[in-house]
Structure 1
Amino acid sequence: MTFLLLTLFIPLLLLYTSHLRRHASPFSPRKQRQKRIALLEELGLGLEEVGRRKVLGFFHPYCNAGGGGERVLWTAIAYVQRTQPETVCVVYTGDLVPKQEILDKVMARFAIPLSPNTLSFIPLHSRHLVHDSTWPRFTLLGQSLGSMVLGWEAMAGLVPDVFIDTMGYAFTYPVVSYLTTMPRYPLLPFGAYIHYPTISTSMLTRVRERKAGVTNSEGVTKSGVLSFGKLIYYRLIMYLYSLSLSSSQFNMVNSTWTKNHVDSVLGHKDLVMDLVFGVPPLAGVKLGLGGFWWAREGTTIVYPPCDTKDLVGYELGGRERVILSVAQFRPEKDHAAQLRAFAHLLDAHPEYREGKEGVKLVLVGGARDEADLGRVEGLKKLARELGVEAQTTFILNAPYSTVLHYLSVASIGLSTMVDEHFGINVVEFMAAGVIPVAHASGGPLLDIVVPYKGEPTGYHATTPETFSSAFHTILTLPPDEERAMRERAKAVAVERFSEEEFEKGWEGVCGAWVG
């Protein structure tokens, strides 16, 4: 079924876009010049600026979500505005709200000032096509095809001078390449900042070993036939994902974990898939859909920025007995695991339920839509069932000032996501002097909660019991040892994950393309 859908969709897409390119399409140079003039007029710039102003396009359908990925986007744009004031930035987004409302939220959530004079937004009306709820079955395939439609919509809105995908929708790249490859166009440079691979070798491993998880339901794991079918489906998606990634001129990733997985995907070659498609990823420059496939030998780690300036000044002593979670209420963040770990702590140590020794769990996070709000209601119900409702607080869509307040008073920072691609929330914990307890996987394991001068900066765990044990250890540390660990955690955050380090990495990779 998956192969049939692809064999039907891709030829139709090619025929349709070929027709558009030949008949005064929205991608023609004439139409695009008109759109660029309209953009500059919207920004209060004159017609004489059309040929002089470079336009950078940032593809970020959920730019108003307020998460770590959005901090990367806005920090990058702020850096461009500061170092290249003549450059115009456009954001392709499905957040159809006034510009000033978005800028106000960026300031409230991240304290990043942006100039409206060289920033504009191109609406993506089809964003629902990349939402997981739109595709209850064959979700990866549906979202990938949906992102191709969004790529078409973005280029119809405006073809920039450089296209940068800051969310990781790699299936847009061949669409962007094809639609902008015309005799009168120069080759459009494009690249990506990848937070999380669309598909990874670990996902294939879970299906092969029939292990249940967020991306592999129990219904599939219990069936050998369904598991085999899903494995073939995943191999197909990975093959196409590899081709799409290979078409970009530069790829940045946010962590060692992401780099390992994306580099593995870039090298993915499957003989069966080669025979099916007849276009194996050969070495060197390769002919692609209307443009060129550029062979990518690897990716570059550019750690996401953490606003350490606002955090490093917090007092390390006198912290409240608060376990703090800062994460969007999405399924993969696994807030249910946090509640179970907290319940295990209170069951093992009843003295932590109230009084002077009482411990609180505070969950601060963004809720993007009705699905997220429904998830929060489910978590509140679980808290009641576990008997921790009185000790648990949920704070939704909090302004940055509220996040800062809790970072200044909390003792422990909690992150339970398995294979967290980076974990900017964990960096914020450490920069603020909050001792982290994070799942022993992904970025928190490989890049963030790492020893400093041979001494620990936090704890890793995998089960409610081990998380609970780490909580208890921190809550009973002697004051001098506790303070020393907070100082080490702060030092790692400041030295590795500051905005300045991000800007250096961004310039090192993108400078040749966007300068």
Structure 2
Amino acid sequence: MAMEILLWVLKSALWALVFSFLSVVIKGRKNIKRAVGFFHPYTNDGGGGERVLWCAVKAIQEENPNLDCIIYTGDHDASPESLSGRAVDRFGVELLYPPQVVHLYKRKWIEEGTYPRFTMFGQSFGSVYLSWEALSKFTPLFYFDTSGYAFTYPLARMFGCKVICYTHYPTISLDMISRVWERSSMYNNDALISRRVTYSGQSFAWRFASIWLSRCKVIYYTFFSWIYGIVGSCTHLAMVNSSWTQSHIEKIWRIPERTKRVYPPCDTSGLQVLPLERPVKTPTIISVAQFRPEKAHTLQLEAFSVAIRKLDAESPRPKLQFVGSCRNTWDEERLQNLKDKAIELKVDKDVEFYKNLVYRDLVRLLGGAIAGIHSMIDEHFGISVVEYMAAGAIPIAHNSAGPKMDIVLQENGQQIGFLARDVEEYADAILKILMMPETDRLEMAAAARRRAGRFSEQKFYEDFKAAISPILCHASN
């Protein structure tokens, strides 16, 4: 109790100091316009976050046509017409009218390559600088963050904005802290920190360094989590995309009364018209995800390689299709490394890569797949998993977070897919689908498609409008 009181006092003192200082700096700068400003620095990422952006813009245009929609983007070639066209071409979302665009030129301050160490802190405070540029150029009545930059919320409030956010994934979660305690190596936990060395000679030195670095990182994560809780609590409305995200946000931000779960929009209607019957000569498995480290594409490739080696000689040889987008040169490098890995595993002739596909081509590929694979640990929700199901492809998803808690559940007692954690489990799931009788596959695919209907785009619009209506009504006052 004493510690909680101390933290409350420190929190109050910190905010009093920050507000008193910045209020003086910002005083006189306020020129608030009746608009909704969407802070989305990467409008070309091509992932589920971008789909949410365009569906959110459309929902607000429908709910309150008198409010202008502004997009803050670091893509310098973006224009109202190009973004409106992209929403249709890439996601099938037709906006009522093109949004206005405010170009940002400080985006390098939120790029991961700018911060080789202390990346979370660097990107978070860099986002404040980028948000300052955005709000200085155009101050909207409503500031809407759709990219997870919670550190910008206090600044937006100081500019006089009502703050709304749609959080896909907490910047820091309790799971991340526990993994550092357990010294588990992941894409965001350096191997030196997580290493458990047992060989002689350097054993003691390596183990001491690993333990010491792990303890330091726990302190770093704990401190960051505390600050993240403070800035996140500044939002007037926090929409979250899954049960897993909601649980973590409520524990860290501690504003359950202002936290609403709104499942992301999935194109179930457009995909559900695809026939469930698939070509059997060359069964295809599809993987739809941005080429980012947390998506664990290498695990999928290794599992596919293991499955092929275990496959009977008489069985048709499957094909794996990677479909994703690249945001920058680091993503491009990851894609090339994946291609090299396919050659190393001797499955390059069975693997196809598709970068930055337009929406109609993605639908075509989904319509030919018998299964869809997903392997991100603690995926906040998993739009691609729902898209697999709606298209009639049996999902193989990671046994954690969104897919485990919300999506790959039984539908009226019928199994709809598989959950896996490591290469062997993924390979076994692939083999089960490949060896499954066609009648059983069709039955499972049909059940998966029925469940996908729970996460439709129409359902998103209904829940989204219900959540934002109390906030937007401020515009009428």
TM-score, with structure 1 as normaliser = 0.82
Residue 438 of structure 1 contacts residue 459 of structure 1 at CA under 8 Å; is this kept in 2? yes
1:1-57 CA deviation, whole Å, 9 max, x = no partner? Answer: xxxxxxxx99998798455435x5xx233xx5xxx5xxxxxxxxxxxxxxxxx3111
| Cross-structure match for 1:325 | 287
| Contact 1:416–1:439 (Cα < 8 Å) also in 2 | yes
1:248 paired residue number = 235
**Equivalent residue number for residue 58 of structure 2:** 78
Question: Is 1:93 paired with 2:73?
Answer: yes
Cα distance in structure 1, aligned partners of 2:16 and 2:141: 28
The DSSP-based 3-state class of the residue aligned with 1:318 is coil
Residue identity matched to 1:306: C
Name the structure 2 match of 1:301: 261
Match of 1:124 among 94, 100, 104: 104
1:62–1:93: 8 Å Cα contact kept in structure 2? Answer: yes
Which residues of structure 2 form unaligned runs of 5+?
1-13, 196-209
Aligned 8 A contact 2:285 2:372 in 1: yes
Q: Secondary structure at the match of 2:367?
A: helix
| Contact 1:266-1:298 at 8 Å conserved across structures | no
Deviation string, structure 1 residues 384-437 (Cα, Å, up to 9, x no partner): 111111100011011111100011110010001111111100000000111000
Please point out which of 273, 290, 296 is paired with 1:334.
296
Measured against aligned partners, the alpha-carbon deviations of 1:78-134 in whole angstroms (never above 9, x if no partner) come to 1222333222101111111131222222211111112445x2011221111111111
Q: Structure 1 residues 458, 307: closer, same or farther in 2, change over 3 A?
A: same
The one-character-per-residue Cα deviations of 1:125-156 (angstroms, maximum 9, x if unpaired) are: 11111111111100011011111112211210
C-alpha separation in 2, matches of 1:112 and 1:514: 22
Measure, in 1, the Cα distance between the counterparts of 2:108 and 2:20.
24
Q: How many corresponding residue pairs?
A: 443
CA drift of 1:218 comes to 0.9
Q: Name the structure 2 match of 1:413.
A: 372
> 1:299, 1:86 → 2: CA distance?
26
Q: Aligned partners of 1:60 and 1:514: how far apart in 2?
A: 20
Partner of 2:463: 505
Is 1:327–1:366's contact at 8 Å kept on the other side of the alignment? Answer: yes
Instruction: Write the distance in 2 (CA, Å) between the matches of 1:493 and 1:412.
Output: 15
Q: Which amino acid aligns with 1:438?
A: A
Show CA shifts across 1:258-302 (max 9, x none): 1111112124xxxxxxxxxxxxxxxxxxxxxxxxxxx55462210
- Partner AA of 1:445 in structure 2: K
Secondary structure in 1 matching 2:171: coil
User: 2: CA distance between counterparts of 1:173 and 1:28?
Assistant: 16
Name the amino acid aligned to 2:284. V
1:220 aligned partner: 193
Q: CA 1:247/1:296 → structure 2, altered by over 3 Å: closer, same or farther?
A: farther
* Residue pair 1:246, 1:296 contacting (<8 A) in 2 also: no
Q: Determine the C-alpha separation between the residues in 2 that align with 1:73 and 1:426.
A: 19
Paired position in structure 2 for 1:172: 152
Match of 1:349 in 2: 311
Question: Cα deviations across residues 318-340 of structure 1 (Å, max 9, x unaligned)?
Answer: 34500100111011001001100
Select the residue among 133, 139, 145 that pairs with 1:153.
133
Secondary structure of 2:313's counterpart equals helix
Whether 1:21 aligns to 2:21 is no
1:444-502 deviation per Cα after TM superposition (whole angstroms, max 9, x unaligned): 111111100011110001111111111111112222211111111000111x1111110
Q: State how far apart, in whole Å, the 1-side matches of 2:231 and 2:16 are.
A: 17
CA distance in 2, matches of 1:244, 1:11: 13
Output the TM-score relative to the length of structure 2. 0.89
Superposed CA offset, 1:203-245 (max 9, x none): 1001111111111111112311111111111111000000111
1:69 equivalenced with 2:71 (yes/no): no
Q: 1:301 to 1:487 in 2, by over 3 A?
A: same
Of 254, 270, 281, the residue aligned with 1:310 is: 270
Does residue 1:200 correspond to 2:173, yes or no? yes
> Do the aligned residues in 1 keep the contact of 2:63 with 2:465 (CA within 8 Å)?
no
**Aligned alpha-carbon RMSD (Å):** 2.0
**1:366-445 counterparts in 2 under 5 A?**
366-445=325-404
Say whether 1:470 aligns with 2:451: no
Which AA in structure 2 matches 1:498?
A: S
Q: How does 1:109-120 map to 2 (within 5 A)?
A: 109-117=90-98, 119-120=99-100
Structure 1 range deviating more: 99-108 or 395-404: 99-108
Residue identity matched to 1:425: S
CA contact (8 A) 1:440 1:461 kept: yes
Q: For the residues of structure 2 that align with 1:514 and 1:14, how far apart are their CA atoms?
A: 25
Query: 1:231 maps to what in 2?
Result: 218
Whether 1:57 aligns to 2:19 is no
What secondary structure, in the 3-state scheme, does the structure 1 residue paired with 2:395 have?
A: strand
Greater CA drift, 91-100 or 232-241? 91-100
Counterpart amino acid of 2:342?
Answer: A
Amino acid at match of 2:124: S
* Residue of structure 2 equivalent to 1:103: 84
Residues 268, 452 of structure 2: 8 Å contact kept: yes
8 Å CA contact retained: 2:302, 2:345: yes
Does the 8 Å contact 1:108/1:400 carry over to 2?
yes
Question: Percentage identity across aligned positions?
Answer: 38
Q: Which moved more, 1:131-140 or 1:10-19?
A: 10-19
For 1:190 and 1:501, the matched residues in 2 are separated by 23
Matched, 1:514 2:476: no
Q: Cα–Cα, structure 1 residues 450 and 296, in superposed 2: closer, same or farther, change >3 Å? A: closer
* Equivalent residue runs for 1:450-469 within 5 Å: 450-469=409-428
Question: Which SS does the other structure have where 1:351 is aligned?
Answer: coil
Task: Give yes or no for contact 2:303–2:423 (8 Å, CA) kept in 1.
Answer: yes
Rounded to whole Å, the distance in 1 between the matches of 2:23 and 2:53 is 32
Unaligned 5+ segments in structure 1 are: 1-8, 37-53, 181-187, 268-294
Give 1:65's aligned amino acid.
D
